Amino acid sequence: MDPCTRERVIYHPRHRQENGRGFTILELLVASAVLGLILVMLLSVISHTSEAWRRSRGHIEAFQSARNAFEIVTRTLSQATLNTHWHYDNATNPTRYLRASDLHFTIQQAGTSIPGTPGTGFGVFFQAPIGIAASDDLRGLNTLLNGMGYYIQFSGDGSFRPSIVNGEEKRRYRLVQMRIPSENLNVYTATNATDYTWFTSQTKRGYPVSDNIILLVVWPRLPFQEDPEGGVLSLNFTYNSRLNASNVSQPRTASQLPPVVEVLMVAIDEASAVRLTHSTAEPPAIKSALQGKFQTASQSAFGEDLKQLESALTDAKINYQIFHSAIPMRESKWSE
């Protein structure tokens, strides 16, 4: 090619600068700052999510034992039976039929005529086909009739902890379950309606199923549609299937299970229990929060008492959990 005719290519300095241009220091600094801000926000979200998950998991674990205990109470209570039948009011000169039962269902204030710590609500005692036997010959018979009971006791753990465990007793509110084997069930020998010796003589068979349960309320009632306020069967939550059962004019509760039992249980966490318990006496903050509550069996009073209890526990910075359910009594053959 003739040098004279060679095409001349002109490289303009500005053209070369634009094609080879990179990021400036300022742009890199801005990008780094934006990236850092995004990372900080992302880490903050992750941290808050993890903390919320840890708190939620800790809350669930803290009350898992109480949740299991509540399920035990409600499941066992739903199996209560009275085996109600009819018999003459007078064997030699009968005039009418009366409901009758050799068994007993009762709800009483804890620590009065029944076991339990006063102020912790109520104890409930009944019979159910649980299948508990003291002798090996009877074990495996799953429908054996047993005495059952639940109440709350504030006490140390020395009487039931293993002998190899030493140190100071741990004093706590505890939900106690009483299980009376069939061979020891003396409910048939009671002499009157308030003869509770069939279970008060068996307190050694009581064993805690969960620590840090501070309140148990057992409310016998008719279905909500029939009794919205809840005071027809009991004005103060108590119930006794044997009371005046031999009267010609029987009360509606005589020899009958209530159709529905509403159960309320309040638990606190171990951290709160450790912080509040400093002696052999009940923690004043909890005792004060429970005082005077759940004396009147009505929907309005029940709601107000529960609201005041929650407020008192919150003010005392006590972490708590409420368990509440209505239990249909499967063996209730209710009649007026």
Q: Is the pLDDT at 38 greater than 80, yes or no? A: yes
Higher pLDDT, 159 or 229: 229
- What average pLDDT score do residues 155-173 get? 83
Q: Is the pLDDT at 241 greater than 90, yes or no? A: yes
- What average pLDDT score do residues 282-308 get? 96
pLDDT (0 to 100) of residue 318 = 95
Q: Hey, is 62 helix, strand or coil?
A: helix
Q: Is the pLDDT at 180 greater than 90, yes or no? A: yes
Confidence of residue 168 (pLDDT cuts 50, 70, 90): confident
Q: Is the pLDDT at 54 greater than 70, yes or no? A: no
pTM of the model: 0.81
pLDDT (0 to 100) of residue 149 = 97
Higher pLDDT, 160 or 270: 270
Q: Is the pLDDT at 11 greater than 70, yes or no? A: no
- What average pLDDT score do residues 225-241 get? 95
Token readout for 132 is 């508990």
pLDDT (0 to 100) of residue 34 = 86
pLDDT (0 to 100) of residue 55 = 58
Compute the mean pLDDT over every residue in the chain, rounded to the nearest whole number.
88
pLDDT (0 to 100) of residue 7 = 53
Residue 90 CA to residue 95 CA, distance in Å, equals 7
Residue 121 CA to residue 107 CA, distance in Å, equals 10
81: DSSP letter: B
Confidence of residue 140 (pLDDT cuts 50, 70, 90): confident
pLDDT (0 to 100) of residue 194 = 94
Q: Is the pLDDT at 72 greater than 70, yes or no? A: yes
Q: Tokens 């509403």 belong to which residue?
A: 262
pLDDT (0 to 100) of residue 120 = 97
**Sheet of 320-328, strand order:** 213-221, 260-268, 320-328
Residue 332 CA to residue 277 CA, distance in Å, equals 41
Q: Tokens 């303009």 belong to which residue?
A: 12
pLDDT (0 to 100) of residue 60 = 56
- What average pLDDT score do residues 235-242 get? 96
Kindly list the distances between the CA atom of residue 89 and the CA atoms of 83, 101, 249, 250, 257, in Å, as whole numbers in the listed order.
18, 13, 10, 11, 20
Q: Hey, is 325 helix, strand or coil?
A: strand
